Chains A and B, each alone.
Chain A
Amino acid sequence: MSTPENRPAYSRRGTTGEGRALLEVEGLSFAYDTEPVLAVDGLSIHTGDVAVLTGHNGSGKTTLLKVLNGLLSPSEGVVRLWGESIATGRGRSLLRSRSVLVHQRPYLFHESVEANIRYVVKLREPGARDIDARIAESLAAVRLEGFAHRRATGLSGGEKQRVAIARALAVRPELLLLDEPTSNIDPESIRAIEGALGETNRRGTTIVITTHNVATAYRLATSVYPMEAGRMHGDRNAVFRGDVEQTDEYFTYFRVDGGSVIRTPAQSGHAVAAVIPMDDIIVSTEPLRSSAQNHFRGRVAAVEPYEGGRRVDVDCNGVIMPALVTPYAVEQLGLRPGAEVHLAFKASAVRLY
């Protein structure tokens, strides 16, 4: 179950929120010897989600990922996959037949790229007849066409990471877990990996990624979970998916999918997500006359406790914009569902990824 405290606020691409979660975590803790390194009360990931765990080294994200893949057994708590605890035989066999974890420094077998992929497909599906097609397909997904006969261990760091991801894609997992897939590698490999993961997700694979690369996180995520000292927090950013529409002398105009335009300082390049700290969105009952370049009008859809404050979700022509305010402000402005409000934030508060 997602607790209201950590459920991310923003619009998601997946078929989220409805039905049974694909992956659920409850009351999880993990300790090395007696040193506790992980304490996650609840987390639920639905089919089609791209959940991104962010945080510094030692924040517990790799440990959590390994617990989710059954490579580490939690000291307490339960991980459920399609409702089955992965500590049971049934749950374990679901995990081993439908999920794969890719390590931060992946281990590639000392053989050709093709043999690496062939071996794991045969492990999963001894009778598979379309292995050659899968090898070609998964290498194309990470843009390594023509690498089939190269020695896997002689490749560059970025190429190795792409081969490891191709190898994981070849078994067609329904749940793909990746530990820092884009750290310490070249920009071309980062683009190839992000492209492959985005495409895989569009075809229905649920993905959980750890990363400290903020750009990767916001380009791919349907939900971001910051982690600190083994605990999971709610993201304090509002994320909007869309496209850059145009750029003039002063501003770049980012068109949110299905809705309004957000102004940001003029910048070049492509972007798929606009990210705004929820604390920087000002809620008012009257239109503001200020330096803020982004103004929206809408109705309050929900007010919920969030990360020690109140999150006010405002429906602005179909796009939900969340603002983080104090409980006092909720009282003072009379913010309750249905109330008409104005939102404002500075162009410079917006980051494009």
Chain B
Amino acid sequence: MGDALLEAGTLILSGDRELFAIALNSVHFSVFSTLITSAISIPAGTLIALKTFPGRQVLVSALNTLMALPTVVVGLLVYSFLSRSGPLGHWGLLFTPAAIIVGQAVLALPIVTSLVYGGLSRIDAELSETLVTFGASPVQMLFKILSEARIAILSAVLSGFGRVIGEVGISMMLGGNIRWYTRTMTTALALETQKGAFALALALGMILIIIAFGVNAALNWMVRREYA
């Protein structure tokens, strides 16, 4: 194991081409899926937090439950749509990066929506009243409330990113772990470990941890700066 660790360090420090291509793939897919999720989840979470409508509580409970959605279930669901015999089979997306991105976006959707909702609903009632008393229009109010909740929203988005970059099930089922194409850090890690190629697996694990740590550190820094 000590040898493998040394070799893993060498792989990273020497800038191994395949290692970094895999890492880049992962980041690439996760950034895209997180962006798609955010485009839906931020407006949806905002709507649920600021508007009252029938069935809102049920929706919130459903979202909370779906936060724990297993990746393999999402994989199965999206697979059934994208497979050759599925309703979207003719798009030919299965085992492409696009399939991974769609699957990851579905996975992150309830998480980010629920966290955006949670962040906005914790904002003081005094904020709306303050904006009203100074004569803000509904649109001005919306923008100010979002701006005041910016850290909560950003942390919701980063939580979504953290969830998708570390998931295996969807990437494996929808991407197929195709070398130089849909192979991600997690699928490669699983495969290399099974093959007994611990050096590459360890190197991938380290990069994953560094990314997770980096995202968290950035978030902490922003929160501290905001509430200092």
Contacts and interface: CB of A to CB of B under 8 A. Distances in A.
Interface of A: 66, 69-71, 96-97, 99-101, 103, 105-107, 109-110, 119-120, 123-124, 151, 153-154, 171
A70 B228 CA distance: 34
A97 B126 CA distance: 19
Contacts of A99: 133
Contact of B228 (A107, A123, A124, A151): A151
Nearest to A109: B148
Given A71-B129, A96-B134, 7 more contacts: A100-B133, A103-B126, A105-B126, A107-B130, A109-B144, A110-B148, A151-B228
Contacts of B57: none
B226 A110 contact: yes
A124 B127 contact: no
Contacts of B147: 109
Interface in B99-146: 124, 126-127, 129-136, 140, 144
Given A110-B148, A123-B140, A153 B133 contact: no
A107 B133 CA distance: 12
B180 interface: no
Contacts of B133: 69, 71, 96, 99-101
A70 B124 CA distance: 18
Please report whether the interface of chain B is mostly helix, strand, loop or mixed according to DSSP: helix
Contacts of B129: 66, 71, 101, 103, 107
A123 B226 contact: no
Contacts of B226: 110, 153
Nearest to A120: B134
**Which 10 A-B pairs give the minimum distances between C-beta atoms?**
A96-B135, A107-B126, A101-B133, A120-B134, A107-B130, A107-B127, A123-B134, A103-B126, A71-B129, A107-B124
Contacts of A66: 129
Nearest to B132: A71
A124 B132 contact: no
Contacts of A109: 144, 147-148
A124 B228 CA distance: 29
B130 A124 contact: no
19 contacts: A66-B129, A69-B133, A71-B129, A71-B132, A71-B133, A96-B132, A96-B133, A96-B135, A99-B133, A100-B133, A106-B126, A107-B124, A107-B127, A110-B226, A119-B144, A123-B136, A124-B134, A151-B228, A171-B134
A97 B135 CA distance: 7
Contacts of B91: none
Contacts of A96: 132-135
B22 to A, nearest CB: 39
Contacts of B131: 123
Interface string B184-228: 000000000000000000000000000000000000000000111
